[in-house]
Chain A
């Protein structure tokens, strides 16, 4: 298996533009997580899905952020409109369950820069 796949790996955009980050989880995993990592705040859980259904989106910072999982093999995280403070590395992870007991497999991340 290729592991969790994220695209793009790097994204540079101007303030106000829409940004869409993509994730393909490991086949067979039923849980998917989106994280944001910055030096100041560390790794923060934004939202997670179980069987394609959003379970907890309390970590999504604002209404400008939205996430979807239309099927078991694809998820998107969208920021509209983007702001400079959204600059961070965004990680997608997948696992066999939502509990910390299950190992999460992280993708390589998307480094987002908003100017």
Chain B
């Protein structure tokens, strides 16, 4: 079974700090997605990365897809309270079924 392992599970940091969260697998994925979920709502897509080594930026968020397409990272610069939420990575397994990691729960303290 292909799995997406996310780390850390929980992260609480002060406003203004930088952070990186990770999504790792022992398997190759054709593409990976990152979602953010706020309490009481469904996940919302942030980005899709499809090429090994690809880097995408979304304002203060930087997403990277590993060269071997087995891992991805999300870096947030100067975190703000509005970045608080559950960050999920998702990919398609070899049976073309979408699987999600369990997520990193991020809390930014004002």
A and B interact physically:
yes
- Partner-B contacts on A (CB < 8 A): 4, 33, 41-45, 48, 56, 58-59, 91, 93, 98-101, 103-104, 106-109
Q: Which residues of A contact B98 (CB under 8 A)?
A: 33, 45, 48, 100, 104
Q: Which residues of A contact B42 (CB under 8 A)?
A: 4, 91, 93, 106-109
Q: Report how far A45 CA is from B43 CA in the complex, Å.
A: 13
- Partner-A contacts on B (CB < 8 A): 30-33, 40-45, 48, 50, 88, 90-92, 95-103
Q: Report how far A108 CA is from B45 CA in the complex, Å.
A: 14
Q: Which residues of B contact A48 (CB under 8 A)?
A: 98
Q: Report how far A103 CA is from B101 CA in the complex, Å.
A: 17
Q: How far is the CB of B37 from chain A (nearest CB, A)?
A: 8
Q: Report how far A108 CA is from B40 CA in the complex, Å.
A: 7
Q: Report how far A106 CA is from B43 CA in the complex, Å.
A: 6
Dominant secondary structure at the A interface: loop
Q: How far is the CB of B54 from chain A (nearest CB, A)?
A: 14
Q: Report how far A107 CA is from B40 CA in the complex, Å.
A: 10
Q: Report how far A4 CA is from B98 CA in the complex, Å.
A: 19
Cβ of B100 and Cβ of A109 under 8 Å apart? Answer: no
Q: How far is the CB of A111 from chain B (nearest CB, A)?
A: 9
Q: How far is the CB of A7 from chain B (nearest CB, A)?
A: 14
Q: Report how far A32 CA is from B100 CA in the complex, Å.
A: 16
Q: Report how far A107 CA is from B37 CA in the complex, Å.
A: 11
